[in-house]
Structure 1
Amino acid sequence: MIHLISTEKDNLISAKISDKIQKSDVEKIHPLIHNIIEKGQKVDFYFEMEDFTGYTLKGFWEDIKVDSAHISDYGKMAFVGEKKWQEFAAKFTDFFTSSEVRYFDLKDKELARNWIIS
């Protein structure tokens, strides 16, 4: 599940992620990406993952479609998590994008928030 967090930064999509990401969750984010792109900005992301267990199959497929369509539109990405596989996923994302991607432990979420808004 994705729960959006309001933010002051115009080009930042900020969310708390838990349980499994579903197709409807990705569909909720996609228009926000377009709104930022239409303003001529790169899209920054702050994802705080707590009790996050992954994706449903449809959610994973939808996320791949959105990311492949917009990967060059992404700016900074902060992944904040609590599990080793989440850190690995962030590093994997960094490998496939020119975005600046960083992983932070959940205890360092304030540091992550400061980094993503700077």
Structure 2
Amino acid sequence: MIEIMPQSSGNVIGIKAGGRLSDADYRQILIPCLEERLKQHRKLNILFYMDETFTGWDLEAAWDDASYGLRHRADFDRIAVVGAPPWVEWCIRLIGFLMKGEIRVFPAEQLDQAWAWIKTTQ
């Protein structure tokens, strides 16, 4: 399940992920939100918060995530990943070099610090 967090505004989008993410989560919620914001802003700052129920992605959702990220890799200025399990942190660090923007990983207890960082312009 994906939710757009209420703290989102302007070019800053907070995404809360729980359970197992599906293709529908991306196609019905996340991608339309990102596309709408990209019409209004040149670059986006993303906070991706994985809550304690997060278990991963189904295959189609993983493909949606990777393909969208690569197509739009120059459209993200900052990405904060919060609460990621160790296996997700490893994947983020591995593919991070493909992204044009800056990516930081924060433990769940540093959610407030992640929001502060993501809202800071470069």
TM-based fold match above 0.5: yes
- Select the residue among 86, 99, 102 that pairs with 1:97: 99
Corresponding position of 1:74? 76
Instruction: Specify whether residues 114 and 68 from structure 1 end up closer, same or farther in structure 2 by C-alpha distance, changes over 3 A only.
Output: same
Instruction: Specify whether residues 60 and 11 from structure 1 end up closer, same or farther in structure 2 by C-alpha distance, changes over 3 A only.
Output: same
Contact 2:21 2:61 in 1 (8 A): yes
User: How many residues are paired up?
Assistant: 118
**How far 1:18 moved relative to its partner?**
1.2
SS at match of 1:71: coil
Provide the TM-score with structure 1 as the length reference.
Answer: 0.88
**How far 1:78 moved relative to its partner?**
0.4
Aligned CA-pair RMSD: 1.6
For structure 1, the 5+ residue unaligned runs are none
- For 2:77 and 2:45, locate their aligned partners in 1 and report how far apart those are by CA, in whole Å: 5
Residue 7 of structure 1 aligns to which amino acid in structure 2? Q
Superposed CA deviations along residues 93-115 of structure 1, whole A, max 9, x for unmatched, are: 42211111000001111111111
Contact 1:2 1:25 in 2 (8 A): yes
- For 2:75 and 2:8, locate their aligned partners in 1 and report how far apart those are by CA, in whole Å: 20
Give identity over the alignment, percent.
25
The structure carrying a bigger strand percent of its residues is 1
Residue 12 of structure 1 aligns to which amino acid in structure 2? V
For structure 2, the 5+ residue unaligned runs are none
Runs of 4+ residues over 4 Å off in structure 1: none
- For 1:98 and 1:8, locate their aligned partners in 2 and report how far apart those are by CA, in whole Å: 22
Contact 1:23 1:56 in 2 (8 A): yes
Provide the TM-score with structure 2 as the length reference.
Answer: 0.86
